[in-house]
Chain A
Amino acid sequence: MDAFLTSRIISDILAGLTNGVIYGLVALSLVLVWRSTRILNFAQGAMPMFAAYVGMVVFAHELGYWPLVGISILAGFTVGGVTERVLVRHLYGKPEINPIVVMVGFLIVLEGVAAAIWSTTPRGIPNPFSPIDWQLGGKPVSLSPFSVYEIVTGLVVMTLIAVLFRFTKLGLQLRASALAPEVSRLLGVRVGRMLTLGWILSTGVGTICTVLVASNFFTGLTPQVMDGIFAFGFIAAAVGGLDSPVGAIVAGVSIGIILQFVGDYVNSNAIILTALIILIVSLMVRPNGLFTKSSARRV
Chain B
Amino acid sequence: MQWILARRRVAVTAGLVVVAVVVTALTASSVRDGVALGVALAVAITGVATLTIAGLREAHPVLARAALTVVVLDASLFATYFFSSITNFNLAIGAAMSIVLLGLSFLTGASGQISLGNSAFMGVGALAVAIWANHHASTPIVVTLLIAVVSGALVGLLLGLPATRLRGPYLAGMTLAFAVAFTAIVNSFSSWTGGDAGLQLPTAVTPPNWLSSLFNAQTSLLTVNTMWLADITIVVTGVAFFFMANLFASRTGRAMRLIRDNDVAAELVGVSLPRTRVIAFMVSSAYAALGGALWTLINNSVSPPTYSLALSITILSLVVIGGIGTIPGALIGGLIYAYSTNVISWFTAHTGINPQGNLASQLPGIIFGGLLILTMLFAPMGIVGAVRRLWAKRRVRSAT
Contacts and interface: CB of A to CB of B under 8 A. Distances in A.
Q: Is the interface of B mostly helix, strand, loop or mixed?
A: helix
A109 B365 contact: yes
Nearest to B320: A101
A89 to B, nearest CB: 11
A176 interface: no
Contacts of B365: 108-109, 111-112
Contacts of B114: 97, 100-101
B373 interface: yes
B266 interface: no
B339 interface: no
Nearest to A87: B373
Contacts of A90: 377
Given A101-B376, A102-B376, A273-B185, A116 B362 contact: yes
A95 B359 CA distance: 34
Interface string A84-123: 0001001000111110111011111101110111011000
Contact of A276 (B181, B313, B376): B181
A277 to B, nearest CB: 10
Contact of A267 (B188, B264, B316): B188
A54 interface: no
Contacts, number: 149
B373 A42 contact: no
Interface in A38-82: 39-40, 42
Nearest to B310: A108
B366 A105 contact: no
A243 to B, nearest CB: 12
A279 B177 contact: yes
A299 interface: yes
A269 B264 contact: no
A97 B369 contact: no
Contact of A112 (B167, B168, B369, B377): B369
Nearest to B185: A273
Contacts of B371: 105
Contact of A97 (B112, B309, B368): B112
Contact of A42 (B165, B167, B176, B376): B176
Contacts of A115: 358, 361-362
A109 B161 contact: no
Interface in B280-315: 309-310, 313
A113 B364 CA distance: 11
Interface in A204-244: 227-228, 231, 234-235, 238, 242
A109 B185 contact: no
Interface string B196-216: 000000000000000000000
Nearest to A105: B372
A105 B370 contact: yes
Nearest to B364: A112
B174 A280 contact: yes
A287 B167 CA distance: 9
A283 interface: yes
Contact of B188 (A34, A87, A96, A269): A269
Nearest to B113: A97
A162 interface: no
B173 A105 contact: no
A260 to B, nearest CB: 16
B380 interface: yes
A115 B365 CA distance: 10
Interface in B342-375: 358-359, 361-363, 365-366, 368-373
A112 B372 CA distance: 14
B133 interface: no
B368 A108 contact: yes
B372 A104 contact: yes
Contacts of B146: none
A1 interface: no
Contact of A283 (B108, B166, B368): B166
B178 interface: yes
B274 to A, nearest CB: 11
Given A101-B320, A112-B365, A112-B369, A40 B184 contact: no
A77 to B, nearest CB: 22
B254 to A, nearest CB: 18
A272 interface: yes
B229 interface: no
Contact of A96 (B159, B165, B168): B168
A40 B169 contact: yes
Contact of A287 (B159, B166, B188): B166
B162 interface: yes
Contacts of B361: 115-116
A167 B358 CA distance: 47
B366 A112 contact: yes
B184 A273 contact: yes
B317 interface: yes
A109 B362 CA distance: 9
A270 interface: yes
Contacts of B116: 42, 104
Contacts of B309: 227
Given A108-B313, A112-B365, A115-B362, A234 B176 contact: yes
11 contacts: A96-B167, A96-B169, A105-B370, A106-B373, A109-B370, A116-B361, A235-B173, A270-B188, A272-B180, A272-B181, A283-B162
Interface of A: 34, 39-40, 42, 87, 90, 94-98, 100-102, 104-109, 111-113, 115-117, 119-120, 227-228, 231, 234-235, 238, 242, 267-273, 275-276, 279-280, 283-284, 287, 299
